[in-house]
Amino acid sequence: MLEIYAGKNALKTIQEQGFNQELFTHFLGASGGPKWFTVFGLDKYLFGEFFHNRNTELNLLGSSAGAFRAACLTQSNPVQAIEGLAYNYANMVYSKKPSAKEISTKAADIVNQLFTDNRADEVINNNIFKAHFLVAKCNGLTASDNKVMQTAGLFNSWLLNKLDRKLLAKQYQRYIFKQPSSNLLINDPYNFNTVYQNLTRENIKSAVLASGSIPLVMSGVKNIQGAAKGTYRDGGIIDYHFDFSLQKSSVVTKNNPNECGLTLYPHFSSEPKAGWFDKNSTRKVLASSYDNTVLLSPSKKFIKSLPFSKIPDRTDFTKLDANTRINYWQQVLTQTDILAECFHEFVTKQGISQIKAFTP
């Protein structure tokens, strides 16, 4: 039911040292809207048990839905937080033809519920589980909330990406809103200009909301506190499923070269796509970006066992009536506990032979 893939160096490391939580220094959470429900059971197990009582740093990076997950998993009670997010997301209901304003308002409500009481402080001050939210700052027509202009800008983005992913840097700048003491760096083979911005009480809600603000579907987030003025949108535009590797600052790695460990990546697909405009393309991620990564994904058999034999996605909002969709999504959330059980068995028995080499 659960498939486990490892990049070249990750597989070698695990074969030599076994599979244990201390090997991991990074955790990825991808874009994909309600597709993340597929790894809900894994999230609960990983942060309720596998990483429980951890005393060394783990950097969580997320874009869009992955950012919302990271905002939960870096709180003092991560399981309660992720359960609350899943419930609120699954039970969200829109009008028949919701406007971008309506969808954005409902998303903002979810963000506000994420950070009730002192939960924003828990994330910002967490020196073990460090949150990083990926956001795309838009330039030119892509920054407009006028749908005609924005569509023209996005079409240009599609053309640029088709020619060369690097050309998207003409229209987008990567922002990483990070836990203040983090010294994590992205090693990006496409050389997007990347700005590292500290999280504060004043910008954390806007950063998470911006990371999930889907082009055309939602309004862009304007002028996030502490960052450059402009329009910020879904981090998945640049980093949909990720095509980069991770490292610490040169000062840190020089002092302790073992600080850069492996990356754990629970994902709804075993075939990650780099950016939003690669969703329907044949472009593959670079193998080098996943050398140190362990990817956990549901098998085709598991997906077939789900209602409608598929994982949830945003089209469910329009294709299904609200009651049918909510019941379906709740069944998926329950069934994903099976994946957690599979992972627990794998770790307990150290079933390293079942790990497959990751080959894009």
Hey, is 27 helix, strand or coil? strand
Q: d(Cα 217, Cα 100) in Å, to the nearest integer?
A: 5
What pTM was computed for the model? 0.95
pLDDT tens-digit readout, 340-350: 999 999 999 99
Return all residues near 138 (Cβ < 8 A) that are at least 6 apart.
153, 171, 172, 220, 230, 231, 232, 233, 237
pLDDT tens-digit readout, 61-84: 999 999 999 999 999 999 999 999
Question: Which residue type sits at 121?
Answer: D
Q: d(Cα 151, Cα 35) in Å, to the nearest integer?
A: 24
User: Binning pLDDT at 50, 70 and 90, where does residue 293 land?
Assistant: very high
Give yes or no for residue 251 having a pLDDT over 60: no
Give yes or no for residue 235 having a pLDDT over 90: yes
Hey, is 177 helix, strand or coil? strand
- Phi/psi at 197 (5° precision): -120, 125
Mean pLDDT (the chain) is 95
Q: Which helix (H) or strand (E) holds 266?
A: strand 262-266
Return the pLDDT at 249. Answer: 52
- Asked whether the beta carbons of 212 and 221 are under 8 A apart, the reply is no
Q: How far is CA 258 from CA 8, 184, 244, 254, 264, in A?
A: 17, 14, 19, 9, 17
Return the pLDDT at 260. Answer: 72
* Lowest-confidence region among 182-196, 245-259, 290-304: 245-259
Return the pLDDT at 248. Answer: 64
Return the pLDDT at 259. Answer: 57
pLDDT tens-digit readout, 4-39: 999 999 999 999 999 999 999 999 999 999 999 999
- Asked whether the beta carbons of 27 and 263 are under 8 A apart, the reply is yes
Hey, is 79 helix, strand or coil? helix
CB-count exposure of residue 290 (10 Å: 0-12, 13-18, 19+):
buried
Give yes or no for residue 250 having a pLDDT over 90: no
% of the chain exceeding 90 in pLDDT: 95
pLDDT tens-digit readout, 252-289: 444 444 457 999 999 999 999 999 999 989 999 999 99
Region 151-166: mean pLDDT is 97
Q: d(Cα 211, Cα 276) in Å, to the nearest integer?
A: 13
Residue from 338, 330, 341 nearest 34 by CA: 330
Give yes or no for residue 231 having a pLDDT over 90: yes
- Asked whether the beta carbons of 193 and 176 are under 8 A apart, the reply is no
Q: d(Cα 297, Cα 275) in Å, to the nearest integer?
A: 19
Total residues belonging to the chain: 360
pLDDT tens-digit readout, 193-206: 999 999 999 999 99
Please, what is the end-to-end C-alpha distance for the chain in angstroms?
21
